[in-house]
Chains A and B, each alone.
Chain A
């Protein structure tokens, strides 16, 4: 059980970050406003969580323009996908092991 806990990544302790990763796991790319809508949080809150995940190199940013408006899209990096999958597996293992006690 201790091994499983170690594989739980610190970056995923916050449910907002888990939410961001979950949404990006099933979408190729999402822009800031879509993420905000799904998570139902403030701009500042979302921005700080995105920054944290960016720092871990779990998500990448792609900037482009729609007409004259800047459009920022986020996607999961390879490392991010692996960390997310591992985290999910560890969670499942934890629940299973606690159930068997």
Chain B
């Protein structure tokens, strides 16, 4: 007959299996820290070099064409940050998954990505519409808002802290859509500082 210890171990094994097979736990804290650093440097470049800091919803840098050079460069910069951040996250998750003896492309990863992709794609398309209508001041707030919604939506399938992160980004997005003049600053805070704090927290909580 089994001993009490065995039953306790049975339950522990069941619980760990349920968690491992339903949640993507290969997210790396370092990915958050790196994404934050990219975002902060991107916001700094946009502000200092391209003089991008919309203070009104309808904003055009030169007043003539709707798509000015600096705006184009800022969009290019934003896409570059996105690719860098995602590339780093995938690379580090792959490393972490390998260490855990798992494949990165498993059912939990798929679910996490699908649940993030729907709000993100909707937001991305909406932002293209905003650009075409010249509503430049709303871009930063809406990236925060939709990114927050994506995180909140996907949080069931990964670390529970992602839910809080999502709520913070949603809040920052809403605040900055009202105070448009602080859009870039709040964007730098949301994507930069918050990511770095979250990454450090994740690292110390789960990767020690």
Contacts and interface: CB of A to CB of B under 8 A. Distances in A.
B106 A95 contact: no
A30 B4 contact: no
A66 interface: no
Contacts of A23: 17-18, 20-21
Interface residues of B, number: 19
A94 interface: yes
Interface residues of A, number: 23
B11 A34 contact: no
Given A34-B106, A37-B106, A19 B4 contact: no
Contact of B20 (A5, A38, A88, A99): A38
A30 B11 contact: no
A18 B14 contact: yes
A94 B4 contact: yes
Contacts of A26: 18, 21-22
Contacts of A99: 4
B4 A25 contact: no
Interface of B: 1, 4, 7-8, 10-11, 13-15, 17-18, 20-22, 101-103, 106-107
Interface of A: 5, 15, 18-19, 21-23, 25-27, 30, 34, 37-40, 88, 91-92, 94-95, 98-99
9 contacts: A18-B10, A19-B14, A19-B17, A22-B15, A26-B18, A34-B106, A37-B101, A91-B7, A95-B11
